Amino acid sequence: MFRLAVPRLAALCCARRAYSTPGKVKVCVTTQDGTQAEFEAPVGVNLMTAVRDVAQLEMQGACDGCMVCGTCHVYLSKAWYEKVPEADDDELDILDKSLEVQDTSRLACQINLTSDMDGIEVTLPKKVANLMM
Ligand code: FES
């Protein structure tokens, strides 16, 4: 009897190959409790809107992208931190006041998703501070 070898499908979030729908990019998120989630978001929306509104994951985005609250603080993977456009001085000022900042910290509302960001990897901090309060 012959036995066919069936390749195992990768069930992990974001295998290194991106495969999203045209006009959308795949976003890979590690949530506060370590759960990995992946979803597709339209090109042109910012990363905060993608995480909060498209995927409906836990992200406050209290100022709705006006860059005053800091509640959209995320950590990018090192590789993606180097690929996305750099933070400007205003964003860095908000990050300076944020909790548990790391070398790859960014404000998700300041990252507009482009077609070359397919497979972007993001981790949500366990704690964020709302700087408007
Ligand atoms: S949503 Fe408020 S700083 Fe990004």
Question: Is the whole model's pTM more than 0.95, yes or no?
Answer: no
Strand spans (E) along 31-131: 36-42, 73-76, 105-107, 120-123
Q: Report pLDDT for 20.
A: 80
Interatomic CA distance for residues 69 and 109, integer angstroms: 10
- Ligand 1 atom nearest 68 alpha carbon: 3
Category of 97 on φ-ψ map: left (φ > 0), alpha (ψ -120 to 50) or beta: alpha
Mean pLDDT for the stretch of residues 109-115? 98
Q: Which atom of ligand 1 is nearest to the CA of 71?
A: 2
- Give the mutation target among 107, 111, 122, 130 for probing the ligand 1 site: most ligand atoms within 8 A of CB: 107
In this prediction, residues 77-96 reach a mean pLDDT of 98
Index of the ligand 1 atom closest to the CA of residue 63? 2
Amino acid at 57: L
* Domains of the chain, residue spans: 24-123
Domain 24-123 CATH assignment equals 3.40.50.300: no
| Number of alpha carbons in the 13 Å side-chain half-sphere of residue 63 | 19
